[in-house]
A = this chain, B = another copy of it.
Amino acid sequence: VPKERATIRMVAQTAGVSIATVSRVFAGAPSVSAALRHRVTEAARQLDYTPHPVARSLALGRTQIVGLLVPNLANPSVCGLIKHLLGEAERADHRLVVTDTDDDPESEAAVGTSLLQHVDALILCAPQADAEVLDALAGHGKPVVVVNRAVDSPRLGNVLVDDTAALRDLAAHLASLGHRRVAYLRGPSRSWQDARRWQAVRSLAEHGVEVTPVEGGGRLDDGRRGAEAVLRAGCTAVIAFNDLMAFGVMAALREHGARVPDDVSVTGCDDVPLARCVTPTLTTVRGRLREAGAATWRMVAGMLGGAAPERPVVLETEAVIRDSTGPCPRPAPVRAG
């Protein structure tokens, strides 16, 4: 039998004070006499009173809720970021409402706008929408922070993990192992991260390595599907857009009878916890999720506090060489000419 919820008025009445006093006590205002404060807390305890968050939100004009829009919860890297943000949010007495676009760039604008109505601030993880769309979201006057996608709007907060250098290292590593034909398994087509990684991967050309882009998408199955093209192209190594695709391509390569790394080397990106558990352990690039989460929250909190968005925070990262990369099994093919 659910008892009716106690209101501030009831507490005021049983404590014999005004509702303003009750409000002050719960706001921790110092200007309340110890005697009244005690009567109020006692009455509240007795009635099991808790301030109504919605009423509070209406009066205050803020909800203590932050929205989080992610591309796909099926990606452990994304979940890792959420987890860290959750921790930060909780410490700051905020709640997170999470939404997943299922890798659909088209839905970002609508979902983001809708989400923005309900929250104090919005965090966009690797969004693929046009720059104007993202900038428009900031036009609602609430803090919007974009993670892992560069934006130049001065109204948007921006936190980036820059994996360019790490991927170039990875490329050099593969070149030094003798690989001469390397595939790049692409991420989502409109993804900023993909464009960026692809650019870094093309540094392989500097080492005289031929690099073949293979259509992908970002998910486990996209990795699976890429294996055939990789083999068909005669590549001896594949750099996958992320760890998830790396897992997928490794599985499919094996199904096609290719061994990793003996026949084909594979690398990922993000360094999800599983990367060090699979067989062979995955060569990849650290995702720095903890730091990214912390930086993101710091930025959100700052903007909630009225600060203008600071300059973008860029986190450098590094490659982690494990067992999924090895020497090229074949001599370099003779070029026609």
Contact = CB atoms under 8 A, between A and B. Distances in A.
A65 B97 CA distance: 9
Contacts of A99: 86, 90, 95-96
A13 interface: no
A154 interface: no
A195 interface: no
Contacts of A189: none
Interface in A82-140: 82-83, 86, 90, 95-100, 115, 117-118, 139-140
Interface size class of A (residues with CB under 8 A): 35 or more
A54 interface: yes
B86 A117 contact: no
Stoichiometry, as copies per complex, reads: 2
Mostly helix, strand, loop or mixed at chain A's interface? Answer: helix
B277 A220 contact: yes
Nearest to A60: B54
A29 interface: no
Contacts of A279: 250-251, 254, 278-280
Given A139-B2, A279-B279, A73 B83 contact: yes
B118 A2 contact: no
A132 to B, nearest CB: 16
Contacts of A96: 97-99
Contacts of A50: 117
Interface centre among A63, A220, A274, A281, by most B CB within 10 Å? Answer: A274
A141 to B, nearest CB: 3
A60 to B, nearest CB: 10
A100 B86 contact: yes
Nearest to A281: B251
Nearest to A76: B76
A241 to B, nearest CB: 16
A273 interface: yes
A74 interface: yes
Contact of A220 (B53, B274, B281): B274
B98 A220 contact: no
B273 A251 contact: no
A86 B57 contact: no
A39 interface: no
A53 B50 CA distance: 21
A58 interface: yes
List the 5 shortest-distance A-B pairs measured between CB atoms, nearest first: A2-B141, A251-B277, A73-B83, A279-B279, A247-B277
23 contacts: A2-B139, A53-B118, A54-B54, A54-B58, A58-B58, A73-B82, A73-B86, A74-B80, A74-B83, A74-B273, A82-B98, A83-B100, A86-B99, A95-B97, A95-B115, A96-B97, A96-B98, A98-B98, A220-B274, A220-B277, A250-B277, A250-B279, A251-B277
